[in-house]
Amino acid sequence: MKLKNWALLLALGLLLTVLVACSGGDSEDTESSDTGDADTAEDTTEEVAEETEGETEGENVLNVINGDTIPSMDPSMATDEYGFQFIGATMEGLYRLDENAEPVEGIATNHEVSEDGMTWTFTLREDATWSNGDPVTAHDFVYAWQRAVSPDTGSEYGPYMMGGVIKNATEVNTGDVPVEELGVTAEDDFTLVVELANPTPYFESLTSFGTFMPLNQAFVEEQGDNFATSTDTLLFNGPFTLENWTSTASEWDLVKNESYWDAETVQVEKINHVVVKDPSTSVRLYEEGSVDRAGISSDLVDQYSTHEDYVVTPETSVFYLKINQTRNEALANANIRNAIARAFNKDDLVNEILNNGSIVANGLIPADFAPVPESGEDFRAASGDLMTYDTEAALEYWEKGLDELGVDSIDMELLGGDTETSKVMNEYLANQLSTNLPGLNVTLKSVPFEQRLDLDTSMDYDLQVAGWGPDYLDPYTFLSLWITDGGNNMMGYSNSEYDALLEEATTTLATDNVARYENFFEAEKILFEDAAIAPIYQSAMAQLVSPKIEGVFVNPFGATYEYKWASVNSAE
Amino acid sequence: MARYIAKRVMYMLITLFIIATLSFFLMKMLPGSPLNAEEKLTEEQQAIVLEKYGLNDPIPIQYVNYLAGLVQGDLGISFAFSNTPVTDILMDRMGPSAQLGAQALVVGTVIGVLLGLIAAISHNGFLDYTSTIIAVLGTSIPNFVFAGLLQYLFAAEWELFPVALWGSFEHSILPTIALMIFPMATAARFVRTEMVEVLGSNFITTARAKGVSEPGIVFKHGLRNAMIPLVTVIGPMAVSLMTGSMVIEQIFAIPGIGEQFVNSVMVNDYPTIMGTTLLFAALFIGIILVTDLLYGLIDPRIRISGGGK
Amino acid sequence: MDTNNNNKIPKELLVPMKKTEDTSEKISGESRTFLQNARRTFLKNKLALTSVIVLVFILIMSAVGPWMTDYELDDQDLSRAKMPARVPVLENISWLGFTGYLSDEFEGSDVEDATNKAIARYDNEADFVDIEVISEGDGSRNSAEVKATYDIYEAKGMKDEYFWLGTDTLGRDQWTRLWLGTRVSMLIAFVAAFISLAIGVAYGGIAGYYGGKVDDIMMRILEVLVGIPNLVVILLMMLVLEPGITSIIVALTITGWTGMARIVRGEVMKLKSQEYVLAARTLGQSNWKVITKHLLPNISGIIIINTMFNIPDAIFFEAFLSFIGLGMAPPQASLGTLINTGFDNIMLYPYMLVFPAILISLIMIAFNLIGDGLRDAFDPKMHK
């Protein structure tokens, strides 16, 4: 009797499974079309299992988290942090930045600069090869750079990084001049001559940037539209190769590139990457031992700031309120802008909300970024605090501004990001502004990054929490943002004096570094006299980093992490 | 029957067409284009990029092109992943979601039916109350709250299962449990109600009178009849699996379709949003159609009235 | 012998039977209307009754709760951020979690190391941190463990303050925000459910009552609409609309009425062919009268039941939208946004998640149980 009971139950279970399978089975052929995927899923399962074993043996393998998928591995097309990270790790440009952000030899062994600073001649090494065996030559650079500015490519960073730097880059990009006229030529296979549009003192460090990587013309043209969409359609010449990657992959590996010219320096065999977006999940993975590095978002700092592996890395990104003068007429009033820029407590924000080593910003150029020529003093220290938290001054400006406008209350919108920390920060800023400035009503709008950029482009905001990270080692990368009608201005700021100072710095004063910096100081001062923006903070990165990771450092621009000189400490 | 199916399929296509149209025009109302990022393009370049995505044409033409592409199974090219067709993205992401959904549905229903059965047999007894409470909790507690609880307790505190990520079977256990709670509870409630009703009906009394053994009554007569209407709740279950996939894949960092959808929303990747929307809609409509047809096949009464001589 | 005895029944005992009415068919109970029966059945359902009480309590609290403290929705003060829950009297019962202490376990190579970490973690206020050694350790990495308890209220000089449910990351009182959030969630749910009800009843009623061509066309439209998964439409709508209460209500109602319309139409179809309706029409009552006097009262049960299940659905979808970041705009609170924030702090400040999570679960359970209870109450088979 009992047995029969169970048999019936079992039969029932089977029946049910069949029933459910039937009903689910026809659901648009997901199951059937999926069998292929299911198999691959199993494969990866095994792979993961093997990897975990490898991990415990701990032989020069690192496991790290990436915040998102890699949108593009095409050096001409990449625009974001992750693209440049993996382009930097798998490709080698003329130079590479070392620990102190100084350029060290890459494909170029050395270079000569003409006296007027306009012609740079690079000598390339002859032993560098692509992962398919082809040698890396000067022609690869010529092809890649032409491709980056060619209007047919539709690159965003090409014209941005090269325009005004390399001769004819802007003209080529607008189609006024054929692409062959770009100021870059291959004298022979291993000599690259670059003519500049203006003397650019930081050009050497610029060549380490992703957009300036060489490309193997034959390979790129063979792949056509498929180029750089998966591991199979990429060629590498850097310290690592990218394996198991497709453009939607959520897991991939950096594997040591044995054909890299400096392969013996590279010690790490493999760096496994996995996409995890949620900060608390990544921290738990770290504690579980599945990954060797995890970012700590501000709300988790309390918990992990006493963790043995807690590390704070300063960054050179600056965050500020963009004040749009075109949409809300109150913001065209300098007194109102001055009031807003002084009306929020940055100390509390940095210490209590961000809490991750970020520091208060009272100017535009970040600290520890650009040393002033000759004196060697840091730009920020030399320039001083230009915009500080001061409720009394803010109130004074505010009342003056309201008088001038003849109103007693103003409504405005604050646009900000939608990550957990930025949401908290936005709420705080809105609250601070409306508390400290009577009569100000702030409505909040927290949107995802991409949407914020869209709203920025269409100048559809009043105040915006925005940030900027440098694209090369020069204050100009920040100051050029606010040139009248500049591509990133997008808030209607215009000051002819400011424009003139910067124009001068890039043209007549280009070879006189001391005078350039004088202009930069002057320009930054004007920016804050006008209260064009309201600086908030300079960011830092809090992380848990396993003590077994050694020699990984963070670049001030371009690829975030540099793994070439990294090693795995097996003592742990 | 064939006419009925044809009619249903036609409705299905109309519905899909409406959804495609609706999502197309809603997306056109939103700001944003593939020209995201820092906007460093000159006018000419923007034109080139827009051309590539066919965004230079007037909207009606874009709409026609879009529909024409749809018919050929072409959902367009993603804004966020350069040069990647939306279909490829969806195919890539299908695996984990399908596995998770299937596991949750099967395990959830089986356990749910058993719970319902136990409850019905011990009508108003202790077991009945226990399983009723489980069922009420299961249908009431939001699945993301439940998922967070599971992750916190089983993975973070007690370290029994991996915290997140996708890969081995173990990785799928916690998300499956979180996802199956609703199907389980729904099935349990449904089977219990049906069973109580069936067990009180005349033909069961007749069967008892004829001396059919108790298990025979429960399984052969009772459950068979109670199971049939279960097909009707597959619709709500499908919905719960879809919403569940979005939050649960997010919480457990699983590279599935739900997670992809939420991300596409975050980065304004309209072609992918539209593609996923259509996929969800097609799945949903397909499931409803199949359950309706199945219902007709399983329930003898409907069969008789439908195709009787 | 025996037989003889039986026959000797004294005659006086044989009295003729008085003729009375046959009472076996008499209705002994008082007669009750359907609604009386329904009420009786409902009141006997203890779970449903408890749910009603719980729900009424929650509704009252969402009205008066925010006034019970001196804090406002957006009263920020970073100096009192992340304070744990503390309730007078209950603070003395340690396991309840209303003590106002923060407590955690810390590991280090030895007790001193672990203690230092604990103190560093708790604002370096060594005087207010109680250390309890769990394991001494042997000098190796993370071998020692201590349990530290930090009296944050005392340390911040707020011994007289009570944040009943603690404060959030911006120092806002959670009690205030929780009830204001409940208010918003309930508002969304009720308004959405009633708009769906109105549209659904009107649409289903018209289709069912007029029948024929009207019904045909309306039902074809409905069939297509029902096919659209509501989740997809809700998400698309939320993308287009500005976040806020109205948008969520619009998104929820845009598809929410279809279920009601279907049910109402079915019921109306069934009822309108009943004799009493026919009679009313034959006697010349206007359509309006027939609908309001005869049809509506008879389908009200099913409408109420359906609404009772729509409300928790709406609450769930609001929370779901807020959870994936498409819901309410800050600083507005709703149960969904509170849960969302709570999730980010689950490891360290679990109280930020626990209270809103419990509350939303309670509300959902209560509505479901009431719905179940009403369904039973309106089901004649369940009347006893």
Interchain CB contacts (distance < 8 Å): A and B: 209
- What is the C-alpha to C-alpha distance for residues C319 and C326, in angstroms, rounded to an integer? 10
- What is the C-alpha to C-alpha distance for residues C358 and C351, in angstroms, rounded to an integer? 10
pLDDT band at A4; cut points 50, 70, 90: very low
Kindly report the three-state secondary structure assignment for every residue of C130-161. EEEEEECCCCCCCCEEEEEEEEHHHHCCCCCC
Closest chain C C-alpha to B30 CA, distance in angstroms: 6
Q: What is the pLDDT of residue B40?
A: 45
What are the residues facing A414 on neighbouring strands?
A444, A463
Does B180 fall in a domain?
yes
Query: Tokens in use for C136?
Result: 């001494």
Q: Is A503 found in the same domain as A355?
A: yes
DSSP A126-167: SS-B-TTSPBP-HHHHHHHHHHHH-TTTT-SHHHHHHTTTBT
Does A228 fall in a domain?
yes
Which region among A19-23, B180-184, C258-262 has the lowest average model confidence (pLDDT)? A19-23
Q: Is A331 found in the same domain as A231?
A: no
Q: What is the mean pLDDT of residues C99-107?
A: 79
Q: What is the pLDDT of residue B47?
A: 67
In chain B the first and final C-alpha atoms are separated, in Å, by: 14
Q: What is the pLDDT of residue A29?
A: 35
Q: In this structure, are residues A440 and A412 in contact, taking their beta carbons and an 8 Å threshold?
A: yes
Q: In chain B, what residues touch C357 (CB-CB under 8 Å)? A: 145, 148-149
Q: In chain A, what residues touch B48 (CB-CB under 8 Å)? A: 151-152, 154
Q: In this structure, are residues B153 and B162 in contact, taking their beta carbons and an 8 Å threshold?
A: no
Q: What is the pLDDT of residue B43?
A: 59
Q: What is the mean pLDDT of residues A394-417?
A: 92
Could you tell me which chains touch chain A, where touching means 3 or more CB pairs under 8 A?
B, C
Query: Tokens in use for C303?
Result: 């409408």
Q: What is the pLDDT of residue B300?
A: 59
Query: Tokens in use for A156?
Result: 């965003």
CATH code, domain carrying B184: 1.10.3720.10
Count the domains in chain A: 2
**Which residue in A299, A306, A426 is closest to C345 by CB distance?**
A299
Taking each helix axis from N to C end, the angle separating C335-344 and C296-323, rounded to the nearest 10 degrees, works out to 30
Q: What is the pLDDT of residue A34?
A: 36
Closest chain C C-alpha to A357 CA, distance in angstroms: 15
pLDDT band at C2; cut points 50, 70, 90: low
Helices and strands: H and E segment counts in chain B: 14, 0
Residue B233 is part of which domain span? 86-261+291-298
A9-23, A80-94, B115-129: which is most confident? A80-94
Q: In this structure, are residues A372 and A378 in contact, taking their beta carbons and an 8 Å threshold?
A: yes
Q: What is the pLDDT of residue A137?
A: 93
* Closest residue of chain A to C340, computed from CA coordinates: A420
Q: What is the pLDDT of residue A21?
A: 38
Could you tell me which chains touch chain C, where touching means 3 or more CB pairs under 8 A?
A, B
Q: In this structure, are residues C328 and C337 in contact, taking their beta carbons and an 8 Å threshold?
A: yes
What's the CATH fold of domain C174-382?
MetI-like fold (1.10.3720)
Q: How many residues does the structure list for chain B? A: 309
Q: Is A505 found in the same domain as A416?
A: yes
What are the residues facing A562 on neighbouring strands?
A553
The ipTM is 0.79
Q: Choose among A474, A504, A407: nearest CA to A206.
A: A474
List alpha helices for A355-448, DSSP H. Answer: 379-383, 391-405, 420-436
Asked if B253 and A154 come within 8 Å (Cβ–Cβ), the reply is no
The domain locations on chain C are 84-155, 174-382
Q: What is the pLDDT of residue A518?
A: 92
pLDDT band at A500; cut points 50, 70, 90: very high
- What is the C-alpha to C-alpha distance for residues B45 and C197, in angstroms, rounded to an integer? 52
Q: Is A216 found in the same domain as A332?
A: no
Q: Is C152 on the interface with B (CB under 8 A)?
A: no
Closest chain B C-alpha to A546 CA, distance in angstroms: 18
Q: Choose among A253, A224, A221, A219: nearest CA to A234.
A: A219
Residue A357 is part of which domain span? 316-540
Q: Is A232 found in the same domain as A102?
A: yes
- Please state, rounded to an integer, the average pLDDT across all residues of chain A: 84
Asked if B81 and A173 come within 8 Å (Cβ–Cβ), the reply is no
Q: What is the pLDDT of residue A43?
A: 38
In chain A the first and final C-alpha atoms are separated, in Å, by: 61
Does A66 fall in a domain?
no
Does A163 fall in a domain?
yes
- Contacts of residues B212-216 at CB distance under 8 Å and 24 or more positions apart, as own/partner, are B213/A1, B215/A1, B215/A4, B215/A5, B215/A8
- Of A204, A238, A272, the last residue of a domain is A238
Q: What is the pLDDT of residue A20?
A: 39
Which region among A84-88, A135-139, A533-537, C258-262 has the lowest average model confidence (pLDDT)? C258-262
pLDDT in tens, A257-285: 999 999 999 999 999 998 887 777 788 88
CATH code, domain carrying A102: 3.90.76.10
- Of A188, A217, A238, the last residue of a domain is A238
Closest chain A C-alpha to C247 CA, distance in angstroms: 14
Closest chain A C-alpha to C169 CA, distance in angstroms: 8
Q: What is the pLDDT along chain B (309 residues), one digit of tens a residue?
A: 678 788 888 888 888 888 888 888 888 777 666 655 444 455 556 666 667 677 777 788 888 888 888 888 888 887 777 667 888 888 888 888 888 888 898 899 889 988 888 888 887 788 888 888 888 888 888 888 888 888 878 877 777 777 767 777 778 888 898 888 888 988 888 888 888 888 878 888 888 888 888 777 777 777 777 777 777 777 777 777 877 788 888 888 888 888 888 888 777 788 888 888 888 888 888 887 787 777 767 665 554 443 333
Q: Is A509 found in the same domain as A375?
A: yes
| E-only strand ranges, A77-142 | 95-97, 103-105, 108-113, 119-124
- Please state, rounded to an integer, the average pLDDT across all residues of chain C: 82
Query: Tokens in use for B118?
Result: 């136990």
Does A12 fall in a domain?
no
Does A246 fall in a domain?
no
Q: Is the pLDDT of residue A142 over 90?
A: yes
A434-448, A529-543, B222-236: which is most confident? A529-543
Q: Is B253 on the interface with A (CB under 8 A)?
A: yes
pLDDT in tens, A360-375: 999 999 998 888 888 8
Q: Is A35 on the interface with B (CB under 8 A)?
A: no
- What is the C-alpha to C-alpha distance for residues A283 and A310, in angstroms, rounded to an integer? 11
User: What pTM value is reported for the model?
Assistant: 0.77
Asked if A448 and B267 come within 8 Å (Cβ–Cβ), the reply is yes
Q: What is the mean pLDDT of residues A81-90?
A: 90
Q: What is the pLDDT of residue A59?
A: 74
pLDDT in tens, C10-58: 888 888 877 777 767 776 677 777 778 888 888 888 888 999 999 999 9
- Contacts of residues A171-175 at CB distance under 8 Å and 24 or more positions apart, as own/partner, are A172/A146, A173/A149, A173/B42, A173/B44, A173/B45, A174/B42, A174/B44, A175/A151, A175/B44
- Of A190, A212, A238, the last residue of a domain is A238
Q: Is A461 found in the same domain as A369?
A: yes
Q: Which residue has the higher pLDDT, A571 or B135?
A: B135
Q: What is the pLDDT of residue B214?
A: 78
Does A305 fall in a domain?
no
Q: How many CB atoms lie within 10 A of CB A251?
A: 20
**Which residue in C227, C325, C360 is closest to B11 by CB distance?**
C227
Q: What is the pLDDT of residue B38?
A: 40
Q: What is the mean pLDDT of residues C354-366?
A: 90
Q: Is the pLDDT of residue C193 over 60?
A: yes
Q: In this structure, are residues B280 and B264 in contact, taking their beta carbons and an 8 Å threshold?
A: no
Does B58 fall in a domain?
no
Q: In chain B, what residues touch C326 (CB-CB under 8 Å)? A: 265
Q: What is the mean pLDDT of residues A415-432?
A: 87
Q: What is the pLDDT of residue A39?
A: 37
pLDDT band at A253; cut points 50, 70, 90: very high
Q: Choose among A237, A312, A239: nearest CA to A271.
A: A239
Q: Is B150 on the interface with C (CB under 8 A)?
A: no
Q: In this structure, are residues B195 and B223 in contact, taking their beta carbons and an 8 Å threshold?
A: yes
pLDDT band at A37; cut points 50, 70, 90: very low
Q: What is the mean pLDDT of residues A59-78?
A: 86
Q: Is the pLDDT of residue A458 over 90?
A: no
Does A506 fall in a domain?
yes
Q: What is the pLDDT of residue B41?
A: 53
Does B275 fall in a domain?
no
pLDDT band at A185; cut points 50, 70, 90: very high
Q: Is the pLDDT of residue C270 over 60?
A: yes
- What is the C-alpha to C-alpha distance for residues C285 and C280, in angstroms, rounded to an integer? 6
Tell me whether residue B207 is exposed, middle or buried, using C-beta atoms within 10 angstroms of its C-beta: 0 to 12, 13 to 18, 19 or more.
middle
- What is the C-alpha to C-alpha distance for residues B220 and B261, in angstroms, rounded to an integer? 44
pLDDT band at C4; cut points 50, 70, 90: low
**Which residue in A420, A428, A448 is closest to C170 by CB distance?**
A428
- What is the C-alpha to C-alpha distance for residues C110 and C138, in angstroms, rounded to an integer? 7
Q: What is the mean pLDDT of residues A463-467?
A: 92
Does A186 fall in a domain?
yes
Tell me whether residue B91 is exposed, middle or buried, using C-beta atoms within 10 angstroms of its C-beta: 0 to 12, 13 to 18, 19 or more.
middle
Q: Is A338 found in the same domain as A223?
A: no
Q: At A274, which amino acid appears?
A: V
- What is the C-alpha to C-alpha distance for residues A86 and A66, in angstroms, rounded to an integer? 11
The pairing of beta strand A440-446 with beta strand A553-554: unpaired
